[in-house]
Amino acid sequence: MKPLLKHSAKLLPFSLALALAACGGGGGGSPSANNPTPASSVATISSSEMATSSSATSMASSSAVAGETVNINFTNAAVHDPSVVKVGSEYYVFGSHLAAAKSSDLMNWTKVADGVNNQNPLFGNKVTTELADTFTWSEVTGLWAADVIQLDDGKFYFYYNSCKGDSPRSALGVAVADNIEGPYVNKQIMLKSGMWGQASEDGTVYDAQVHPNAVDPDVFFDKNGKLWMMYGSYSGGIFILELDEATGLAKPGQGYGKHLLGGHHARIEGAYVLYNAQTGYYYMFTSFGGLDAIGAYNMRVARSVNPDGPYLDAAGTDMSTVKGNPNKLFDDVLYAPHGQKLMGNFQFALAAGETGTQHGYVSAGHNSAYYEEESDQYFLIFHTRFPGRGEQHEIRTHELFFNADGWPVAAPYRYVPLSSNPTTLDKTIAGSEVAGSYKYINHGKDISATLKTSSTITLNSDGSVTGAVSGSWSAQGNNLIDLTLGNESFKGVLSRQWNPNSKTFVVTFSAQSTAGISVWGSRNN
């Protein structure tokens, strides 16, 4: 069946599965061991998703440590595929369906815009005329995962993309504004895809197996000031282009650019790059699986010493070799073993004395990431669905840490600053604080909608681990921890995180294995 996808548009809308193959999951949510050492240091939208995309909910919780209580307030907003940019003291996220929100603390979000219509202020209430050529090409009035960056001229560059949805017929372009909140004025279309039977951007006839879908841009500066755009989705995979720093447009002669990951309709999308000056690596985040509540979205990461790759996982696999099956649609088994999995579907059980809704996520993904230089903190920002809540989704922010091997690990709970606690809490965790009973999650390596529920393990003071899994542990100083669980070794990071069910800051660990499996622990009080 797969060879039929190459050139004929009329053969693509064959089923919902083929529709999802075309654009990937990037538009969902409403109407997506041998690494080199650095030199130095396509979707159907439900009515329920439309209803929730513009909603925001608020909730308040309290935290008690040593008898003290503090209110923790969250204001939640729905922006699918959030891409972060900071302007002054405000964090902005831009996503699919021309949605945007802002926050000053990464906990309370205010919606700025939503909906591809002429009431949306981001394009001065005239998006349908500003992007008329784009919508003519994609054959739909819709926008997918956006990205915004400020260039050296002080202006904000809004990288938009529109995908037909039942095929990878897409257009990706850029609009410019003097203000982060717009109004943006279209500059031009940069790339097109899905030109069936016609020459594509590289001069050859478009082939959905190997050519990219022109969606999901991430534009970033490398450590030397060069400007790049990573993009792509299902179809031919993830690609990268070098851009002109002055114009924000692609430098000539690159075609679609360099292939980095995926192809043959592998369910891999939502690429985002973060550079860590301490490790010397560029980290490429992607989401494997499908975006919806049964789609099994899970975030993964690979790294490179160069912005344009090759990107490798901890096993040394060059991610450009990780592809789907040309003869079988969505053959997840082929690519599930690759990349470092940060998190998949999970839910913590309630321990004694805990109350409220059990903490857990479903199909969390299409993330961005941010380094806050002033506080020396890394953050992972993504959308997620929730157990038992269908397609409703919201923005979440978690702290991101780097283990002894230089791989990122995500905190188990959403971000709440330690300063929220009325009594000063030391960021450093002494080895004597680690021993105790923990709720334990093993995220596995599968691409599955199965909810991984917590079990109980004990990190004993003698360095042994007992309970649902046996092994050993040792604190390494600087909040680092080594664990051997079963027959697998994990390098991790200890932190204090606010547990919404105990309403206290608790000791947690987040760790990775060379095989790319993440495990989490949350200490029971």
DSSP string over 387-443 = TTSTT--EEEEEEEEE-TTS-EEE-SS----GGGSSS---SS--GGGT-EEEEEEE-
Tell me how far apart the alpha carbons of residues 481 and 460 are, in angstroms, rounded to a whole number: 14
Q: How far apart are the first and last CA of the chain?
A: 55
User: What's the token pair of residue 370?
Assistant: 């941010």
Q: Give me the mean pLDDT over the 75-103 stretch.
A: 98
Residue 29: per-residue pLDDT:
56
Residue 343: per-residue pLDDT:
98
Q: Give me the mean pLDDT over the 163-171 stretch.
A: 96
Q: pLDDT grade, residue 69 (50/70/90)? A: low
DSSP string over 44-83 = PPPHHHHHHHT-EEEEEEEEEETTEEEEEEEEEE--SS-E
Q: How many CB atoms lie within 10 A of CB 41?
A: 8
Q: In the beta sheet, which residues pair with residue 111?
A: 101
Residue 52: per-residue pLDDT:
35
The angle subtended at Cα 330 by Cα 220 and Cα 171, nearest 5°, is 40
Q: What is the pLDDT of residues 389-400, one digit of tens each?
A: 999 999 999 999
Residue 60: per-residue pLDDT:
39
Tell me how far apart the alpha carbons of residues 151 and 84 are, in angstroms, rounded to a whole number: 15
Output the CA torsion sign for 121, 125, 131, 135.
Answer: positive
Q: Which residues are catalytic?
A: 81, 269
Q: 124 pLDDT exceeds 90?
A: yes
Main-chain dihedrals φ then ψ at residue 92, nearest 5 degrees? -110, 145
Residue 162: per-residue pLDDT:
98
DSSP string over 79-116 = -SS-EEEEETTEEEEE-GGG-EEEESSSSB-EEEE-SS
The radius of gyration computed from the CA coordinates of the chain, to the nearest angstrom, equals 22
Q: 6 pLDDT exceeds 70?
A: no
Which 3 state secondary structure label does DSSP give 135? helix
Q: Give me the mean pLDDT over the 162-173 stretch.
A: 96
Q: In the beta sheet, which residues pair with residue 485?
A: 471, 488
Burial class of residue 69, CB neighbours in 10 A (0-12, 13-18, 19+): exposed
**Nearest C-alpha neighbor of 405 from the set 309, 303, 521, 474:** 303
Residue 57: per-residue pLDDT:
40
Q: What is the pLDDT of residues 329-361, one digit of tens each?
A: 899 999 999 999 999 999 999 999 999 999 999
Which 3 state secondary structure label does DSSP give 137? helix
Average pLDDT, the chain: 89
Q: Give me the mean pLDDT over the 497-515 stretch.
A: 96
Q: 7 pLDDT exceeds 70?
A: no
Percent of the chain clearing pLDDT 90 (strictly above): 85
Peptide bond into 31 cis (omega under 30): no
Q: Strand pairing of 90-94 and 83-87?
A: antiparallel
Residue 42: per-residue pLDDT:
30
Tell me how far apart the alpha carbons of residues 126 and 118 are, in angstroms, rounded to a whole number: 5
Q: pLDDT grade, residue 140 (50/70/90)? A: very high
Residue 340: per-residue pLDDT:
98
Helices (H), 287-383: 332-335
Burial 284-317 (b: 16+ CB within 10 A, else e): bbbbbbbbbbebbbbbbbbbbbebbbbbbbbbeb
Residue 525: per-residue pLDDT:
79
In contact, 380 and 369? CB cutoff 8 Å? yes
Residue 70: per-residue pLDDT:
67
Q: What is the pLDDT of residues 18-67, one digit of tens each?
A: 344 445 545 565 543 334 434 333 322 232 333 333 334 444 333 333 23
Residue 23: per-residue pLDDT:
54
Which 3 state secondary structure label does DSSP give 260? strand
Residue 441: per-residue pLDDT:
98
User: What's the token pair of residue 503?
Assistant: 């309403």
**Nearest C-alpha neighbor of 293 from the set 100, 164, 448, 168:** 448
